[in-house]
Amino acid sequence: MPDFTASVYQNEYLAEGGTDVHAVVSVACSGAGAAGQGEGVEAAEIIIVDTSGSMDMPPAKIAAARRAAKVAVGEILDSTWFAVVSGNTQAQMVYPLRPSMAKMDAQHRQEALQAIDGLRSRGATAIGSWISATSELFSSVPSSQRHAILLTDGKIEGESPDALPAALRAASGVFQCDCRGIGDDWVVEELRSIASALLGTVDIVADPEDLEADFEAMMRTAMSRGVADATLRVWAPQGSELLFVRQVAPTVEDLTPKGTQPSTLIREFPTGAWSDEARDYHVAVRVPTGPVGSERLAARVELVVADDVVAKGLVRGVWSTDTNLTTRIDPAVAHYTGQERLADVIQKGLQARADGDDRTATTLLGEAAKLAHEAGNEDTTRLLTKVVEVVDVEAGTVRLRQDVAKSDEMALDTRSTKTTRIKRTS
Amino acid sequence: MTSDPGAATAAICPSCESPVADGDDFCEACGAQLTATAQAAPAEPVAATATPRVCHVCGGEVTADGFCGSCGTKARTERDHWSESPSTALAAVCDRGIAHARNEDAMAMGVSDDGSVSVMVVCDGVTSAPDSDRASLSASKAAREVLLDGVDGAPAGGAAAIEHWSKAITAATAEANHAAVAIARSLGDPPEPPSSTFVAAVAPGSLVVVGWCGDSRAYWLPDDGEPVMLTVDHSLGSEMIRSGMTREEAEAQADCHTITRWLGADSPTPISQITTVEMTAPGWLVLCSDGLWNYISRPDDLRTMIADHADADNATPLTIADALVAYANEQGGHDNITAALLRHT
């Protein structure tokens, strides 16, 4: 049986008249088991490989894609529904041959591996149509845990600009999707929008040689998600305003716009499937102020699996005139507030740089360098130094580099939302 | 599950299932009352949360985790706010107030089996000493038991009755002090032991014998005639008044509330001063903690306020005590509040 825990990190003390309560709620899962093993749960996996013409330039890309898809098929557990799809101007079945899904066993695995060897590249990139076709395939099997891996090397050009957003609206809640961009001709924003809408990850694989290992790890993680689906439920009191709910670890993802409101005081946010992992959420609520000495529940944060509350954290507000108590900022809240800002300044800084606004780019990326340094965010610091030359990290002074590899810039952009977890002292 | 209710219910709180110590009256974790009343039938396990609790701020339903399901206000525990009314003439309300996180006030009311003798005890735990809420509650209950035990064989009136009940108050104070000291012992004798003020009154008929130790007060407020404060605070404020300040001036001083007598392990004089009064006319006997008299100190003001509330439809000593506590909370509720009222007719 999976076991969930929730821990709340906050300074609950508010000054007289204070209204805004911030907390980091850390949810951890252990004993998740494996995908499709829960009672009444069948898992389904679809691998979507870009086979547009550009995948042949150089041919190493399509070759790497074939190898990676085969490694991923190798990781899929027996009895899991699966399919392999190739995408160019439209989605085409690789395995099974007709639009359907197969149940994984030795024979189907062997057939799928052979079919993948036949992948050839030609045509354009129409990711919206691939997403729509994948939704349909998933809907053809009695599965309640659906996950896809999508690989592309280019930007969308074979369909109208509305096709992808429309496909994502329809696919939201149907399946989760991890996205990978190979090379440097794809668009970070396109893949990020897919990963965000479909509760998945996004990353760059600059070197085709790295694709196999990445696909293996992704599928292994998907197969370790023994909790098919979970919802983050946030109660906030009458008269309050839920300012935001953000996942802040392992990546920054604003959940606020994804919320539904099943009743007046409750918002629910999808979190997808869980493996043995921990995720941190930054919750901010504006509550009616209370008399000094009084205590109010500002938010009750629960993780709900199959209608059962499996973990609960209480976010409280206590009004006090003691400034020693009210002026402290909780270290976890401070840390993640900085990490959220870091992701924001990297993305805006890179956009300014692309727009030719070097002054804004220098200021924002300088702040990013400072924040990453302060938080001990070494990966981000390393990625940043490929785009800027750090003059004074404490002051956040940088100079923009002139000859920046496009893939380095894309890596910085893609990974800007990855956070470090705060070191906790116990 | 064992069928022995004593063994089954002693170890955990029936409300939140936290472990509780033998003899605790309230759960340390959630504040739920662990024993229904002193007179509860011991054979039945206590169902402390059988009825849904209601939020004291908005009237919403309190959820299992102890907060209002509507406005989120932390629900009052039974230790935070409770009332007792053992007869139609006697009632008391004990309340956390607003500014304090814990209710260190306590009280215990009682009436003899034949209804002729009323017993009132109010204790105000010293906030600066941790666990004073436990000391004050334990002391109140101990004193009530001693005073109720004094009913058997008490002289009917006259000097003999005064002597009997004065001794009973002295014994009740000693037992209350013993209870407070026992809490300190159970905590391993902390450097700042839990401590409490004490005021008790016993009213066998029209006679009232009052004993006090600290700055909790007793008032006799006849409907007609001069209302009086029966006690003189054992506090620096009182000493200021003795040295020439007006009451208003003294009560405005920061250290007015520094008490010079109290119950507890570190008390040099855990002894009650005793006074008596004959209730010769209908009126109100009031015991209270400083959480009330901070806002309404003068006997005539208190009498007027009580009379106003007594005029309301269906007024009882309990509704009036509730109204006095509500008044103190409206003024800021800066301290715990206890108001105990006995109607003499």
Block means of pLDDT (10 residues each) for chain A, length 426 residues?
Answer: 95 96 97 89 96 93 96 97 95 96 97 96 94 96 94 91 96 97 94 96 94 97 96 97 97 96 97 97 97 92 96 95 91 95 96 95 97 91 96 95 94 93 61
Strands A176-182 and A202-205: parallel
Residues B25, B34: Cα–Cα separation, whole Å: 5
Q: Is the pTM of the predicted complex or chain greater than 0.90? A: no
Amino acid at A176: Q
pLDDT at B39: 36
Task: Report yes or no: A238 at the B interface, CB cutoff 8 Å.
Answer: yes
Q: Judge whether A19 and A288 are in contact, CB under 8 Å.
A: yes
Residue of B67, B68, B331, B335 to mutate, testing the A interface (most A Cβ within 10 Å of its Cβ)? B67
CA proximity to B108, closest of B138, B80, B134, B87: B138
Contact A102, A142 (CB under 8 A): no
B67 CB near a chain A CB, below 8 Å?
yes
Confidence of residue B255 (pLDDT cuts 50, 70, 90): confident
Q: For residue B98, which residues of chain A lie inside 8 Å, CB to CB?
A: 291-294
- Non-local (6+) Cβ contacts of B202 within 8 A are B117, B118, B119, B120, B147, B150, B165, B168, B169, B208, B209
Q: Among partner residues B58, B65, B98, which is closest to A294 by beta-carbon distance? A: B98
pLDDT band at B252 (very low <50, low <70, confident <90, very high): confident
Q: Amino acid identity, residue A273?
A: A
CA dist B54 and B66 (Å) reads 10
Query: Is B74 at the interface with chain A, CB within 8 A?
Result: yes
**Does this complex have an ipTM over 0.90?**
no
- Identify the DSSP state of A412: H
**Is residue B13 over pLDDT 70?**
no
How, if at all, do strands B198-204 and B117-124 pair? antiparallel
Pairing of strands A81-87, A43-50: parallel
- Maximum separation of any 2 CA atoms in chain B, in Å: 67
Which carries the bigger pLDDT value, residue A420 or residue B107? B107
Q: Tell me the residue ranges of DSSP E strands in A32-80.
A: 43-50
Tokens, residue A277: 């992992």
Average pLDDT of chain B? Answer: 87
pLDDT digits over B52-77, tens only?
A: 788 988 989 999 999 999 999 998 88
Whether A285 and chain B come into contact, CB under 8 Å, resolves to no
DSSP state of A99: S
CB B258 within 8 A of CB B265: no
Please write the tens of the pLDDT for every residue from B127-163: 888 899 999 999 999 999 999 999 998 998 889 999 9
**Reported confidence tier of residue B280, pLDDT bands at 50, 70, 90:** very high
pLDDT of residue B101: 83
Give residue B17's pLDDT: 63
Which residues, other chains included, contact B41 with Cβ-Cβ below 8 Å and sequence gap of 6+? none
**Both structure tokens of A313:** 């954290």
Closest Cα in chain B, distance from residue A317 (Å): 9
Q: What is the pLDDT of residue B129?
A: 81
Residues A312, A386: contact at Cβ < 8 Å? no
**What does the longest C-alpha to C-alpha distance in chain A come to?**
72
| Subunit contact A288:B71, Cβ cutoff 8 A | yes
Give the percent of chain B with pLDDT over 70: 85
User: Dihedral of CA A396/A400/A405/A410: which sign?
Assistant: positive
Q: Where are the alpha helices (DSSP H) in B246-316?
A: 247-251, 290-293, 299-310
β partners of residue A314: A300
Contact call for residues A345 and A370 (beta carbons, < 8 A): no
How confident is the model at residue A334, as a pLDDT?
94
In 3-state terms, what secondary structure has residue A282? strand
pLDDT at B45 over 50: no
B56 interfacial to chain A (CB closer than 8 Å): no
Name the residue among A70, A93, A65 with its Cα closest to residue A153.
Answer: A65
Closest CA to A148 of A78, A101, A98, A88: A101
Question: From CA B87, how far away is CA B340, in angstroms rounded?
Answer: 12
Read off the pLDDT band of B33 (50, 70, 90): low
In this prediction, residue B51 carries a pLDDT of: 62
